[in-house]
Structure 1
């Protein structure tokens, strides 16, 4: 027996609630699998292009895996050790920067640092927190065995999951499509196509922008000789996934370090500021329009809210799935609004009937029981 519209909605809501509950309960276990799925989704267009050039799916997947493994090994041997060392040194130097800021303010604006004033308390708080971070960073190098194991597990499981999902991606999507109720398969395919368009335009494009900006900032800051330039540049590039935040935090951090390092050389300070100005100019006028597109349906505020909400619920796993879920919710929400604005509730009874025509009247029953009579049993006249 076919389910009514209301029953179908209830079953879909129950299934969605069960899925969210499962993800919440298994958040710690799902991380490498979700990371592998995200990596496979990101690389699927490249595999399709290789197939179009005559590669088999297995050969295309193997080629991509070898290429990604080579890049990862190079990064591990060259970038990761330098990044960890600079990050550790930066955290250890944070109290020194706090003392330098206090000394500068005392010399130039002594009236600001009144005894017990807000500025003095803020500087003392920053210095105390910086010292806590330094101690915590040093302790974590000795007591972070479990975190190291989790990180290694992530590095081992994620590429394996990505390899198998990438090799079977087309078959998996076809299989999932076969599970969709046939009455709604057209609508589901349309929504899936829209969601894929949003993700392709935003996630793939924005990640590419982040990689390009991170490489540019890190290389340029190291060339000008800025201390911790690699850490600051990569950090600014990676958090550029959140619009405007990466450039603001990265620019403020690098200029702040440049003020202490190049105090007597304003040309170098301007050079550091110019690096971020060039990066933002290239991003806004070339990278984002070409790689991301003009309309992806994700407002920066909505993106930041999604990251905060899912991050607080599921931790790092929530951060990983926040953007895809926000994009999917946005597409479904816009589809629901379109349906609402085409329906009777929005247009009103009179306008809806004028455009759609009056609903057909139900057939009148032939007797008081409501059931049609057999033609031979009809009676005419008295």
Structure 2
């Protein structure tokens, strides 16, 4: 029987090599960030559609046919979402702006007197709803003015407009090629990896895909489902801003309980301003109670299951840090980088707890799949054969 000893892929010398490689990749991403955005968007879209492509392939269809079916389905869903959501959100925002004066009247005529009588405090002198409304409208006008300015400058600059249109047109084209040839590209990259580190890197990449998939595919599905439940439920019980509140609650529900807290608070205020009776308030509470029950006992177990997800605090920090460092491209890369960082951190923690520095009895090991191979010279143990 041949005995083999795998070299340590993270020895002292190789650690500096990996650090230098990470620095080079980071510098390249920073330098190429103006042109990388459509490629990153395409890669994420292709990655989201990959499980469905593989499922269709298992039915006997070719890879190209499966990609064509999934690509067409994704295109139709995106176009339909834009056509339905944009007018709907615009209508809800208009209702919200019209609703603001009613909110001001309710605040000064009902909420403040009730709070003053209940808690025996003076609030009327500190709350001026007209200033709050004007402040909001001013920020809204500024946001619209910024958008109009950006679009105006974009239309004036011919090269900027051409670049924007080219990037937009590149996304579906590159997405199709990534979906069709992505597996072959990854196989070639795997072949180029140095043999001592190939098993470890492949294992870490697979775990990173599980972490990222567990969060994005599962949590995104939960967010969409909760947003739909809240929007339909609030609209059904007579809340005029139900769709807008439901969409916002679903959007921030990637943080546990934050979506329910934000949505419930906004829905209660909107209900009190619009109706002001206990019956509608009880119906709103019932909608969010039903949503939380469905999330806890059906949506999360079915859509997320026992997949390893990212902690919500890590997600928020990664998105904010990525946006600060690389702009919109950093926001797109935040979650994949965070998933890789979590997996690598877990791997390094495992190596540390098996090291002499930590005080373990055994020598450091290199974990490859389910096999642990000692790395000290002179200790050669054949890898365990799977049965």
TM-score, structure 2 normalization: 0.80
Partner in structure 1 of residue 295 of structure 2: 283
d(CA) in 2 for partners of 1:4 and 1:332?
12
1:186 is matched with which residue: 184, 188, 199? 199
Deviates more, 1:86-95 or 1:185-194: 86-95
SS of 1:183's partner is: coil
d(CA) in 1 for partners of 2:175 and 2:312?
29
Residue 172 (structure 2) pairs with residue 162 (structure 1): no
Partner in structure 1 of residue 28 of structure 2: 22
Residue 319 (structure 2) pairs with residue 307 (structure 1): yes
Partner in structure 2 of residue 328 of structure 1: 340
Partner in structure 1 of residue 186 of structure 2: 173
d(CA) in 2 for partners of 1:269 and 1:204?
34
CA pair 136-284 structure 1, distance change in 2 beyond 3 A: same
SS of 2:308's partner is: coil
Superposed displacement of residue 294, structure 1: 3.6
d(CA) in 2 for partners of 1:249 and 1:153?
39
Residue 66 (structure 2) pairs with residue 66 (structure 1): no
d(CA) in 2 for partners of 1:79 and 1:290?
26
d(CA) in 2 for partners of 1:226 and 1:151?
39
Unmatched segments (≥5 aa) in structure 1: 362-382
Contact 1:91 1:137 in 2 (8 A): no
Partner in structure 1 of residue 264 of structure 2: 251
**Cα RMSD (Å):** 3.1
2:38 is matched with which residue: 32, 43, 46? 32
SS of 2:240's partner is: coil
Superposed displacement of residue 200, structure 1: 2.1
Partner in structure 2 of residue 81 of structure 1: 87
SS of 2:184's partner is: helix
Contact 1:91 1:134 in 2 (8 A): no
**Pairing 1:213-292 to 2, within 5 Å after superposition:** 213-263=226-276, 265-292=277-304
d(CA) in 2 for partners of 1:345 and 1:320?
38
Deviates more, 1:233-242 or 1:273-282: 233-242
d(CA) in 1 for partners of 2:13 and 2:344?
19
Contact 1:94 1:131 in 2 (8 A): no
Contact 1:88 1:137 in 2 (8 A): no
Contact 2:318 2:334 in 1 (8 A): yes
CA pair 135-102 structure 1, distance change in 2 beyond 3 A: farther
d(CA) in 2 for partners of 1:190 and 1:12?
17
**Pairing 1:87-236 to 2, within 5 Å after superposition:** 87-91=93-97, 93-94=99-100, 96-110=102-116, 111-113=121-123, 115=125, 117=126, 120=127, 126-139=132-145, 142-145=148-151, 156-236=169-249
| Rg larger for | 1
Deviations 1:223-243 (A, max 9, x none): 223212222212221222233
Unmatched segments (≥5 aa) in structure 2: 1-8, 156-160, 366-373, 380-387
Higher RCO (CA 8 Å, separation ≥ 6 residues): 2
d(CA) in 2 for partners of 1:248 and 1:183?
50
Deviations 1:89-132 (A, max 9, x none): 424644653453233344324542264x4xx37x6764343122
Contact 2:108 2:124 in 1 (8 A): no
CA pair 137-250 structure 1, distance change in 2 beyond 3 A: same
The answer to which structure has the higher helix fraction is 1
Superposed displacement of residue 81, structure 1: 1.1
d(CA) in 2 for partners of 1:325 and 1:96?
45
How many pairs does the alignment contain?
351
Contact 1:216 1:233 in 2 (8 A): yes
Contact 1:297 1:330 in 2 (8 A): no
Runs of 4+ off more than 6 Å: 147-154, 355-359
Contact 2:234 2:242 in 1 (8 A): yes
d(CA) in 1 for partners of 2:362 and 2:22?
32
Deviations 1:289-320 (A, max 9, x none): 22213451522222222223223323333332
d(CA) in 2 for partners of 1:159 and 1:133?
35
CA pair 31-271 structure 1, distance change in 2 beyond 3 A: farther
